[in-house]
Structure formats: structure tokens, C-alpha cells
Amino acid sequence: MTRVIVTSAAVLLGALALSACQKTNQAPDDPGVCYQVVEQPGGKLKFNVVKKDVPTLENCAAELDAVRYRFLRLGSPKHDFTGAYGGKFLFLDQNGMRITMGPSYDSPQFQTFSRGPDGRLSIPSYIPQPGPVEADGALVPKK
């Protein structure tokens, strides 16, 4: 019985030691630097500087979205685009932008910006919602 406990403890400690050696992908927290993130084979991430001296997250999102559109115009089939700013990862796609809550690539994400009717990024609550629609597709006027 003691031998089983000692063996189990050794296996558990070995697993903990190996998991501590596993490096997680962290976003760089260089102030004012906006990065494009490219996933490499083996799960490693490559950080390409898009622009330096970027004052806010919103400006970085606009820069990354402009780069995303340039790639799409060149014929890229990839609609998703990943960036990093201020120690957080930014995920842009055709619906808007999500940001990680922590510095890790696998951290939970929340929606920061949505695409408006004109395709620009905006705060989700600022996007006008259409009112009720009649059967012929016309909007019902508000009273």
C-alpha cells in the first residue's frame, strides 16, 4: 500500500514539474506598440510590429483592421486576424473585435467592438438597431 502511495506521489510530482515547464503564449506589454500575431507550427506565436507610438487600444484596433482589409484586398482567404496591444490579445474578424481578459493567448475573451452597418468598428451599444419591420420589408414608423 505504501509503495502505491509513493509511486502515485512521484507520478503527480513529475506531472506538475512538466506542466510548470510548459510556456504559455503571453502578449507583449511594450507601451504603445501594436503587433500582428501569426501562429507558427508547433503553437508558437510570432509578433510583428504593425505600428509604434499607438496611444490607445482603439487606435491599435483601427490599425489592425486596416491591415486585415489590405490582406483581404490582396486575395487572402483568411478573414480572422490576431493582434496584441498592452499585454492583451486582440481577435478581429468580420463581426468585430474581441479582446482577452488576461495576458495569455488562451484567456477568456469578450466583445469589445462590433461592426456597424457601414463595416467600421464601433462600440456595440452605438450600433443602431432597426425597429419593427412590416411584411413588405418597410420599417414601421415610431409613434
> What are the sequence ranges of the domains in the chain?
23-122
Beta strands in the chain (DSSP E): 34-39, 45-51, 81-85, 88-93, 96-100, 109-115, 121-122
Q: Does the structure show a pLDDT above 80 at 52?
A: yes
Distances (CA, A) of 46 to 33, 62, 68, 108: 15, 20, 17, 21
Whose CA is closest to 111, among 121, 94, 125, 99?
99
Rounded mean pLDDT of the chain?
A: 77
Say how many C-beta atoms besides its own lie within 10 A of residue 132's C-beta. Answer: 8
Helix (H, G, I), strand (E, B) or coil at 136: coil
Q: Does the structure show a pLDDT above 60 at 141?
A: no
Its pTM stands at 0.68
